[in-house]
A = this chain, B = another copy of it.
């Protein structure tokens, strides 16, 4: 029997990397190289993809990017290091000395001593072209390559930062994160068309469901968060949700991400609105301060003017109007709407847009909707003569509805004729609670000013399209 001693020995044998003969150059990300304080010629190694090549008589200039930042690292090399393989898109490894750049365009540059091409790129066949600013629509055809452009690189880094900011906002506020299920036997409250699922292939038995019951992809984690809000006073989830709607709009996807929260013992909509406003502002500020160059790129090239619009949203207190006031405002509008505004009918996108503009492009909460147009679990305001529930939507410039939420009906007798399990939750130590959901892609659209939702998600899914 081989002993543990032998196993420990094998640690050394397994390495396929040759034992280094002299001190290797430190491997740095482009981001770390750009931010290096020590530029007195330290030897480093950088790996990445060529973003530009400029070959002069005696000097070769390259820009190398590895996705760690928008900015590329300038490589300066003796033209003897030039080769036909150094094309746009090729992957390279470069060793050299990190020095202060004589140019004002960058702080540091890498004086190359060795350039190794790792993977060739046939620039002619490559659908992303050197120095071209491809339209976002063009790039959508290439979900496997578009991340190599500046703009998608920036959006994806921002998405990653925004996700982290949202998680840390909730964690710092004492919320417990819950993975609400993706597959559910619950067909929700008609929040839209559902995807149903069954095993493919040989496990498929037409007459029998895999889970014994029909199973669907979730449209919201709300019910499952409500379950948890009977044990934890503050919970949230941040995961994918689905709609099988045949919608080709620039605001809808078949698969998108939602941030949802549920808070127990809330007294009023005010409590919820405060969390929503803080969430939006605090996380947007974090994104702005953690990736300023990436945000600047979006604001500069995709949505001119968005920087000012965003600042305007962040520095003003969000407004609050009732649904009834909103309908009044719409009725008095000089604008002609396709859908005539009327009390008791849901607001349309055109109405939402008008209301936001009317509010001076400050995000506005619309509260207290008619009972008849909101789901059964919304808390009855017991008002009259116009019967409303404690629901709230947040409308934001450019996007429309960003958040939706409300107080939940926690009173047993108000729900008595409804769903059995939902009722069960109200029998044992029921508490007033409320919550909200925010579409994460719309949040990114709102911050960045990106017009089409398909450009703020890595792999968009919508009717007739499921690339990769």
Contact = CB atoms under 8 A, between A and B. Distances in A.
A270 B14 contact: yes
B156 A93 contact: no
Given A183-B254, A224-B458, A464-B212, A160 B174 contact: no
Contact of A320 (B7, B195, B317, B333): B7
A304 interface: no
Nearest to A245: B203
Nearest to A355: B7
A2 B196 contact: no
A99 interface: no
Interface in A332-367: 332-333, 358-360, 364, 367
A218 B368 CA distance: 40
B319 A11 contact: yes
B90 A429 contact: yes
The size bracket of the interface on A is 35 or more
Interface in A117-150: 118-122, 125-126, 143-145, 147-148
B329 A2 contact: yes
Contacts of A176: 67, 156-157, 160
B164 A177 contact: yes
A381 to B, nearest CB: 8
A244 interface: yes
B233 A8 contact: no
Interface in A145-178: 145, 147-148, 153, 156-157, 159-160, 163-164, 167, 171, 174, 176-178
Interface string A388-431: 00100000000000000000001000000000010011111111
A294 B166 CA distance: 25
B223 A14 contact: no
A268 B255 CA distance: 36
Nearest to A87: B429
B321 A91 contact: no
Nearest to A123: B428
Contacts of A217: 182, 197
B171 A125 contact: no
A345 B201 CA distance: 25
B232 A66 contact: yes
A196 B186 contact: no
Contacts of A210: 195, 244, 254, 463-464
Given A29-B174, A144-B424, A468-B224, A200 B195 contact: yes
A333 B2 CA distance: 10
B167 A91 contact: no
19 contacts: A4-B359, A14-B270, A66-B232, A118-B265, A119-B430, A121-B429, A143-B227, A144-B421, A144-B425, A163-B179, A181-B255, A181-B458, A181-B468, A183-B255, A183-B461, A193-B199, A193-B200, A227-B468, A421-B468
Interface of A: 1-2, 4, 7-8, 10-11, 14-17, 29, 31, 47-50, 66-68, 89-91, 93, 118-122, 125-126, 143-145, 147-148, 153, 156-157, 159-160, 163-164, 167, 171, 174, 176-187, 193-203, 210-217, 223-224, 227-228, 230-234, 239-240, 242, 244-246, 254-255, 257, 264-265, 267-270, 317, 319-322, 325, 328-329, 332-333, 358-360, 364, 367-368, 390, 410, 421, 424-432, 457-459, 461, 463-468
